[in-house]
Amino acid sequence: MKIILIGIQGSGKSTQGNLLSEKLHVSYLSTGHIFRLLAKEKSTHGRYIKEVMNAGYLIPDNKTLAIVEEYLGRLEYKEGYILDGFPRTLTQAKAFKNGIDAVIYLKVSDEEALKRLSYRNGENREDETPSAIHKRIGLFHKLTKPVLDFYRAKGILAEIDGEKSIQEIHKEIIKRINL
């Protein structure tokens, strides 16, 4: 099964992604995690990714597509995957040809996301400054909402209330993907 998780930063994508990965026995892939790893590299590419992320911007479409496609070509994703944080733009969604089974949108208010992010336990990420978070939330509303419409038109979007408990959200996702 190939599932995409979409939601603003702090919506619970990684929590649900890991739960789904366990339940479905497929690998979980977070583009945010990939980009944070790349940003640690002592290279021009790593510095570029770090600067873009720390400023709260999105990595350009062509670079993001190339990185995601390279990762999904690995053996561990052959049987399926849970993909978190991609696609973020309509260009990425249209260019991504990977036979998606379901797209789960974890709908959370901006206020709830900000509250959750401020209570993350010991995870002080460089790319989670208040300024960067606000910028990414704004970019989500501007650039990612059309992605939701794109998948809604394809009939594969499930909109889930992401403000319920972790267990309630997980049960709803499982129900919506017919497992």
Q: What is the pLDDT of residues 54-113, one digit of tens each?
A: 887 889 999 999 999 999 999 999 999 999 989 999 999 999 988 899 999 999 998 888
**31-35, 62-66, 111-115, 152-156 — which is least confidently predicted?**
111-115
| DSSP 8-state assignment for residue 45 | H
- What does the pLDDT read at residue 117? 78
CA distance 22 to 163: 22
CA distance 157 to 148: 7
Domains and CATH numbers, the chain: 2-176 (3.40.50.300)
Residue 126 has pLDDT above 90, yes or no: no
- What does the pLDDT read at residue 160? 97
**73-77, 78-82, 141-145, 155-159 — which is least confidently predicted?**
141-145
CA distance 156 to 143: 19
